[in-house]
Structure 1
């Protein structure tokens, strides 16, 4: 495809703020996104030790309303949506009918018959079509609000402490996965005590036109802007699967350590999902050589799987990876990863690699 016919990259409402901060921008899921500012390691350490902030405005937001909103969500997801109350959120899956996932999502319960769903940016159009195609027979209304929200993720052990003096109502005493309307620096926002880093913090939903000023005020508190690079190393240390790597349309999600997301209930795609996975997702530790997605994983010289995500852990100081391997091979402890034609030893290790507060 020529340059002139390529679809232009979309920009979040914080694009100008990223450029002012000296961010290195890269294409990501159709968006022009910051991969780093001061540097990946510094941003990673800021989130682990103090507080950092990510622009995740590229994520999609769908509102689900109506008398059958709960019934509909129970049908299209694997986790039990009936178990959480208004003002709470939970992690969930959208299964397809082939034993894989359309997406992994977060659902926020606004009130008895109203929910907000956050979906991955690269899956937004696919998710919308999938959900819209399953509404028949349900008294439910779906609204795509993706252009109506900017989303800031403020994460780290000091994140809540730094935001709290400027927030109302109180955000300190809230529990993990709490969800509430409030104000931050006098601006109307939605607070969600959720995140993707393994640290405490809040994801803050704000109207796009107010996002840049809010970003600047949060940075002025001493909270470090962080890009996609640090977001990926943080989530990998915390053992969080990423759609397109550990999950996908043709990857059985029960091969992962997230089997708790599939509850024993009737839902779309349940029969295929009940099948036994032929693969298993495992954690690997290496001594020196970093490994990347797609590298072959071996046992006794035979290829038994591949790396799904890998990096050198800034916190632990050595390479870590998640790998999808044959289920029978997953029982072992010693593996090799092929890097540029040479095999390097790898040891199976528990996931998450790092446990925060």
Structure 2
């Protein structure tokens, strides 16, 4: 089913990499044009290698509410939000997007995380719970539109009713021959939309979006934007070394929803101002590898978790001790000079 899509992408100049069990278009030989489209036009990114799961049956909303950080019970069909899965000690497992429909909940999770999260959640389903978990990754596809002209393309496709709605809102549309769930939000702090559809319709919709003016954007540019925007991901910023407050994911937390996995730790950190380190952007004088030590004078104050070079400018994400300072701090990162800067995806206090 995805073979047709990959053949179509290859004919447009895509090169692919195998990551885990997924085949990912890393570039369309147009990285500069794709980057510019995301900034000033509309770019199209294939995110089908991200995980998709469905939670169904009568207790689905209460169940997810109790297993993640955001207030899921407040969501009505057609609404959505981001939430974080954490351990019992509030260490981060993944950042997920939640979409509530009339009969199910759809979750978009990070690449190579769906099965491990399904196993994690399954442990908390008890005998009387009416909850069913389904892995949809192999039978569905996901695309994201990024850029300020995404509204114009959505209008051209006949899905204009979502324009101007809050992030996470979503609806089902017939786009050409495809039934597509379109959600507000690109996955980054860039205007856009995320589209979900059956895998067998992916090639047709991709062609339709490109003909509508979207510029294909490979995973390499997505990663550059991801670092520049500050979206944390597993194995880099989201690990069991860090909690959601440190990771700058305050916007995904509800502080009055009651008990959930990791809630006591998060509440204690908030109450007693116990956030000892924070995730920041770092503007670098030269490229530096992730894992490099961040120092202030002779003192280690943090670690670089991701790095990229975008438009000839080196940039990274890193955790820095709260007491060392924040935006504007001048630090040494490996052999490079670094300036600590805010990034648009992250927040540092209650929303």
For the 8 Å contact 1:44–1:233, the answer to whether it is kept is no
- Number of the residue aligned with 1:304: 301
- 2:114 is aligned with 1:119: no
Listed as ranges, the gaps of 5+ residues in structure 2 are 347-351
Distance 1:98 1:13, change over 3 A: farther
- 2:312 is aligned with 1:321: no
Counterpart of 1:282 (choices 280, 283, 308) is 280
Alignment of 1:187-336 (within 5 A): 187-264=178-255, 265-273=258-266, 274-275=268-269, 276-286=274-284, 288-314=285-311, 318-330=313-325, 333-336=329-332
- Number of the residue aligned with 2:349: none
Instruction: Give the 4+ runs in structure 1 shifted more than 4 A.
Output: 10-13
Counterpart of 1:31 (choices 5, 22, 42) is 22
Larger CA deviation: 74-83 vs 262-271: 262-271
Task: State the distance in 1 between where 2:157 and 2:248 align.
Answer: 38
Task: State the distance in 2 between where 1:56 and 1:50 align.
Answer: 19
Task: State the distance in 2 between where 1:121 and 1:33 align.
Answer: 11
- Number of the residue aligned with 2:54: 63
Distance 1:173 1:257, change over 3 A: closer
For the 8 Å contact 2:282–2:338, the answer to whether it is kept is yes
Task: State the distance in 1 between where 2:337 and 2:93 align.
Answer: 34
| Counterpart secondary structure, 1:218 | helix
- The structural deviation recorded for 1:329 is 2.2
For the 8 Å contact 1:105–1:119, the answer to whether it is kept is yes
Task: State the distance in 1 between where 2:164 and 2:330 align.
Answer: 44
- 2:339 is aligned with 1:347: yes
Deviations 1:243-286 (A, max 9, x none): 22111233222112222322222101223444434322122223
Deviations 1:153-198 (A, max 9, x none): 1221112202322224634354432110111124211111121232
Deviations 1:263-321 (A, max 9, x none): 222101223444434322122223x312332122111033322111222343xx63322
Task: State the distance in 1 between where 2:198 and 2:2 align.
Answer: 15
For normalisation by structure 1, the TM-score amounts to 0.87
Task: State the distance in 2 between where 1:237 and 1:177 align.
Answer: 22
| Counterpart secondary structure, 1:325 | strand
Deviations 1:308-349 (A, max 9, x none): 1222343xx6332211123322458121011xxxx3221222
- 2:133 is aligned with 1:130: no
| Counterpart secondary structure, 2:112 | helix
- The structural deviation recorded for 1:55 is 0.8
| Counterpart secondary structure, 2:189 | coil
Task: State the distance in 2 between where 1:327 and 1:169 align.
Answer: 43
